[in-house]
């Protein structure tokens, strides 16, 4: 609601002169005309995009294990995945193993809302943000991109930022350093002391409760400490 104190009353005689608003508008226009324009000559000059811009989703098919997490977590259901299983013979194994082979990975960008949930939930870093945004189509059906097209955008994915030297090292770096510190020759490896058992020793069997000695009964009248009979 408008404050009553801000309302202009024609009877007060404080009405502004006609044409003041027009003069103020022309002043702003003249001030802008004297400035140098900052128009970017797109598409001749590529725009400078921020490093974390959300342009399109790129796929690294080699890392995909067909876990279906991205398709299940997508709020728009715009990810379509098909796969099949094949056996992998491992030397020395008792039986052949099975692995999933990716057959289809399509993203319908006409439905995608660029929330980035699929990239965040991917446990094997198979999806990445690419700053590429020039993929407009004349037909909406052409916005359904397959895994080959998604893989071509991996070349436009910027490298990850450098790790902070004062921060905690990554788990991969720690594991690699620990593995490199172990000598290849088994004879040079330090002896490993077996861990001390934390199990408590078995409790000894409970001893039977000792019975209290029987209380002596009443002594006879003639029995005394000396063992003599009653004095006549």
Using CA atoms, how far apart are residues 220 and 227, in angstroms rounded to an integer? 11
Using CA atoms, how far apart are residues 135 and 143, in angstroms rounded to an integer? 8
Higher pLDDT among residues 138 and 9, named by residue: 138
125 φ/ψ sector (left φ>0, alpha ψ -120 to 50, else beta)? left
Residue 228, both tokens: 């003599």
- Looking at residue 32, its pLDDT comes to 86
Percent of the chain that is helix, strand, coil (3-state, to 5): 25, 15, 60
93-130 pLDDT, tens digit per residue, is: 888 888 899 999 999 999 999 999 999 999 999 999 99
Is 111 in contact with 80 (CB distance < 8 Å)?
no
Return contacts of 222-225, CB within 8 angstroms, 24+ apart. none
**What is the average pLDDT score of the chain?**
80
Helices (H) and strands (E) in the chain, counts: 5, 5
**Residue ranges of domains in the chain:** 56-155
Residue 131, both tokens: 């700053």
The DSSP letter of residue 7 is S
Q: What is the 3-state secondary structure (H, E, C) of 86-144?
A: EEECCCCCCCCEEEEEEEEEEEECCCCCCCCHHHHHCCCCCEEEECCCCCCCCCHHHHE
Q: What sign has the CA pseudo-torsion 136, 141, 143, 149?
A: negative
Using CA atoms, how far apart are residues 53 and 49, in angstroms rounded to an integer? 7
In this predicted structure, the answer to whether residue 133 has a pLDDT above a threshold of 80 is: yes
Topology of domain 56-155, per CATH?
Alpha-Beta Plaits (3.30.70)
45-93 pLDDT, tens digit per residue, is: 888 888 778 899 999 999 999 999 999 999 999 999 999 999 888 888 8
Interval 208-216 mean pLDDT: 62
Using CA atoms, how far apart are residues 76 and 58, in angstroms rounded to an integer? 18
Q: pTM here?
A: 0.56
């Amino acid at each position: 609601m408008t404050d009553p104190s801000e309302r202009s009353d024609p009877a007060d005689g404080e009405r502004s002169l006609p044409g003041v608003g027009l003069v103020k508008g022309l002043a702003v226009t003249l001030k802008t005309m004297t400035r140098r324009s900052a128009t970017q000559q797109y598409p001749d000059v590529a725009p400078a995009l921020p490093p974390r811009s959300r342009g399109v989703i790129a796929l690294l098919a080699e890392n995909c294990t067909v876990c279906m997490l991205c398709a299940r977590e997508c709020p728009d259901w715009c990810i379509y995945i098909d796969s099949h299983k094949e056996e992998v013979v491992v030397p020395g194994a008792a039986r052949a193993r099975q692995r999933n082979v990716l057959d289809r990975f399509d993203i319908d960008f006409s439905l995608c809302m660029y929330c980035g949930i699929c990239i965040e939930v991917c446990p094997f870093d198979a999806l990445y943000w690419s700053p590429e945004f020039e993929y407009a189509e004349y037909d909406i059906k052409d916005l359904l991109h397959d895994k080959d097209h998604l893989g071509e955008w991996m070349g436009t994915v910027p490298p990850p930022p450098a790790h902070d030297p004062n921060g905690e090292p990554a788990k991969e770096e720690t594991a690699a350093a620990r593995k490199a510190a172990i000598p290849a020759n088994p004879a040079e490896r330090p002896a490993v002391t077996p861990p001390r058992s934390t199990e408590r020793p078995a409790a000894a069997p409970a001893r039977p409760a000792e019975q209290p000695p029987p209380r002596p009964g009443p002594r006879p009248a003639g029995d005394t400490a000396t063992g003599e009979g009653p004095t006549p």
